Structure 1
Amino acid sequence: MPIKVIVDTDTGVDDAMGCALALRSPELDVLAFTSVFGNVSVELTTENTAYLMEVFGRPDIPLAKGAGRALVGTPNYSPFVHGDDGVGNAGFDKAKTVKPVQQSAAELTVELGRKHPGEITYIALGPLTNLALALAIDPDLPKYLPRVVWMGGAAFVPGNVTPVAEADAWHDPEGAQMVLQQAGWHIDMVGLDVTDDTILVEEDLKRLEAGSAQGRYIAAMMPFYMRFYSAKLGQYACAAHSALTVAIVADPAIVTREEKYPVQVELTGKLTRGMTIADRRTNNSNGGSPEWKDTPLTNILIDVDRPRFREMFLSRIET
């Protein structure tokens, strides 16, 4: 039976890849998409998600607009990464049939969690603001929503928006801290430790360009993103952060190494705000450190089968 999922997304280029893979994975049953600010404004991430749902022929799935800002502070976008529109300045039309439901993302998340208790995996591809707000509505949410898979954080590698902070943690550190400190759910952190070097190259772009209309849609937004990554990677390529996150839910065998540690998010440091800190003094069995004895363990992905992921993604999107 397919795994029921809610996909929470700040739809930029890699997030669109992840949403597309969710829709093309028979192992997953997408109950809803929820949008959040992050790569671009929530207005744009909502529109980008709506258009993607039309391209993939799934206007039947509810789409709920979420938070337009973090719990603390004001949004700070990076159009040089994903383009002014969030999808590589590809010039797509606006969605014609898909419109957001009346409920907020947090409200819909709580409703679906109560409707399908214990059955839903929450896939977060952006800041954790919507889930933090859902938790504020219903503190018992982890009883209904047992697993969270978050594309965010960086435990053992440098950050990407500051020397120590990954973008989605940095966009809303308070939201991330609120979620990570809540006991009762299993959290997988799919951070830069595994996503930053899980890449798609020019050969993959050409494969998508030669494929289906949906493959060409994804390919149209990739060049802008790949040009940004070229300086970092030394080749015409891009990281597939969000697609990898979705893939590990659909195919757990992609994960080859994972370890559990207490994780907290730095909230106050001028140079370290948004840093995700794993207390590596602990081991996987003792359940906590002396200073963080009440901090739940987070399952951190350490390594993945990249060829397996790449073929899974390309074969499902190109057809």
Structure 2
Amino acid sequence: MGAARSRILLDNDTGIDDALALAYLAACEHVEIVAVTSSPGNVDAEAVAANNRALLALCGQPAVPVLIGARQPLRVALVTTPETHGPQGVGYATLPAPPGPGEESLDAIDFWIEAARAEPGELIALFTAPLTNFALALRREPRLPWLLGKVVIMGGAFYHQGNTTPTAEWNTHVDPHAAAEVFAAYSAAAEAGLDTEKLPILCSLDTTERFEMRPELLTDLAAAAHCTAPEIVSEADPSGTRSGASNPLVRYLSDALRFYFEFHRDYDQGYIAHVHDFFAAGIAAGTMEHRTRAATVAVETESPLLIGTTVADFRGLWGKAANAHVVSWNDPDAGFAELVDRLGALARQLDPMG
């Protein structure tokens, strides 16, 4: 699938699948990563920023600005996920911190607003984290829905079991009030005449959990990267086994994803990894086939039983304008083939003697 030049502002909470998504974007030659902003979520915001800076350096893009906005959700306490993503957020993977202080002292929210104002309609916003920073940015600049070219959000669950509570998806559950504000802002924008093409594309668990990675993909990736020996990741390996891949990018992703495989196994889902954020990154990059349905999305913020639950009105029963395009179909096999091709090429470029 051919893709036009894409200039992406990414907000993440790295995060194993966030790391895979970031590496994938770095591997897309038609993508310019304008900045990566770091939200509290899987780990705290400072750890997210450190992960982002280290991975960008590994991927040959150390000059991409990495910034922090909010340090906490809007109204609830931050809950992180060491059991899911490891204490540092990227499983068993480790990288030295790149030299220099980074740009964490700059305010991520102001950066987003100024970038969107400077290039109206040109930037793609990709959110693979709780929507805290986006909600704060919309408070400061309500015209962001008009200023951004495209918005892609990974979050929510509709006809699918939640992955944090029985009904709530992780990103939305971490900061339900931020998600509610974002969708309310797009409802107001839709009522004010926002072009429907500018409504956010929402990648919910209904379709992201179709991206069910198996360890054999790492074998394929190592082969595509021209590693000197096969990369075999097996459920029979002792927990915490480290990769011996000759290529540093393959080694990093293998160590991160092994932790994710083990987590899914320990929660009775099989030795797999749901790589939600990679799929959302592919939509932002224009490389993933998908279909959507227009809907009016709202988020529950009051009920202790249902907090963070997303509700979509696909039939207009509320009598309100649609505020999102919910992805209804995707093609995981094509997506994983794309992933191996792109990351294999980047890995070879980074380590041509591997």
TM over 0.5: yes
- Contact kept in structure 1, 2:200 and 2:324, CA below 8 Å: yes
Alignment TM-score, normalising by the size of structure 2? 0.83
Q: Secondary structure at the match of 1:71?
A: coil
Alignment TM-score, normalising by the size of structure 1? 0.92
- Contact kept in structure 2, 1:254 and 1:306, CA below 8 Å: no
- Contact kept in structure 2, 1:53 and 1:98, CA below 8 Å: no
User: Aligned residue for 2:325?
Assistant: 299
Which shows bigger deviation, 306-315 or 98-107?
98-107
Pairing partner for 1:180 from 175, 179, 183: 183
User: How far is the alpha carbon of 1:95 from its aligned partner?
Assistant: 2.5
User: Aligned residue for 1:86?
Assistant: 89
State the distance in 1 between where 2:152 and 2:143 align.
18
Pairing partner for 2:274 from 239, 255, 258: 239
Deviations 1:2-44 (A, max 9, x none): 1111011101100000011111112322111111011111111
Q: Secondary structure at the match of 1:181?
A: helix
- Contact kept in structure 1, 2:10 and 2:33, CA below 8 Å: yes
State the distance in 2 between where 1:281 and 1:136 align.
29
1:311 equivalent to 2:314? Answer no
State the distance in 1 between where 2:298 and 2:85 align.
28
User: How far is the alpha carbon of 1:253 from its aligned partner?
Assistant: 4.8
Q: Secondary structure at the match of 2:327?
A: strand
User: Aligned residue for 1:124?
Assistant: 127
State the distance in 2 between where 1:6 and 1:130 align.
12
Larger radius of gyration: 2
1:157 equivalent to 2:160? Answer yes
Uncovered stretches (5+) of structure 2, i.e. residues with no partner: 226-246, 346-354
User: Aligned residue for 1:40?
Assistant: 43
- Contact kept in structure 1, 2:49 and 2:104, CA below 8 Å: no
User: How far is the alpha carbon of 1:197 from its aligned partner?
Assistant: 2.4
State the distance in 2 between where 1:117 and 1:280 align.
30
State the distance in 2 between where 1:116 and 1:9 align.
22
User: Aligned residue for 1:110?
Assistant: 113
State the distance in 1 between where 2:265 and 2:210 align.
13
- Contact kept in structure 2, 1:50 and 1:98, CA below 8 Å: no
State the distance in 1 between where 2:182 and 2:287 align.
23
Pairing partner for 2:307 from 273, 281, 290: 273
Which shows bigger deviation, 181-190 or 300-309?
181-190
**Superposition CA RMSD, Å:** 1.7
State the distance in 2 between where 1:258 and 1:194 align.
10
- CA pair 217-98 structure 1, distance change in 2 beyond 3 A: farther
- Contact kept in structure 1, 2:18 and 2:278, CA below 8 Å: yes
Which runs of structure 1 show a deviation greater than 4 angstroms over 4 or more consecutive aligned residues? 231-234
Which shows bigger deviation, 168-177 or 201-210?
201-210
User: How far is the alpha carbon of 1:243 from its aligned partner?
Assistant: 0.6
User: How far is the alpha carbon of 1:85 from its aligned partner?
Assistant: 0.5
Which shows bigger deviation, 197-206 or 33-42?
197-206
Map residues 55-74 of structure 1 onto 2, 5 A cutoff: 55-74=58-77
Deviations 1:102-146 (A, max 9, x none): 321111100110111111110001001111111111112222114
Pairing partner for 2:214 from 197, 201, 214: 201
Which shows bigger deviation, 263-272 or 180-189?
180-189
Which shows bigger deviation, 238-247 or 210-219?
210-219
Q: Secondary structure at the match of 2:200?
A: strand
Deviations 1:86-113 (A, max 9, x none): 0003233223246125321111100110
Amino acid at match of 1:193: D
User: Aligned residue for 1:145?
Assistant: 148
Amino acid at match of 2:209: D
User: How far is the alpha carbon of 1:250 from its aligned partner?
Assistant: 2.2
Amino acid at match of 1:181: A
Figure out how many residues of one structure are paired with residues of the other and give that number: 310
User: Aligned residue for 2:204?
Assistant: 191
Amino acid at match of 1:68: R
User: Aligned residue for 2:265?
Assistant: 230
State the distance in 2 between where 1:136 and 1:89 align.
38
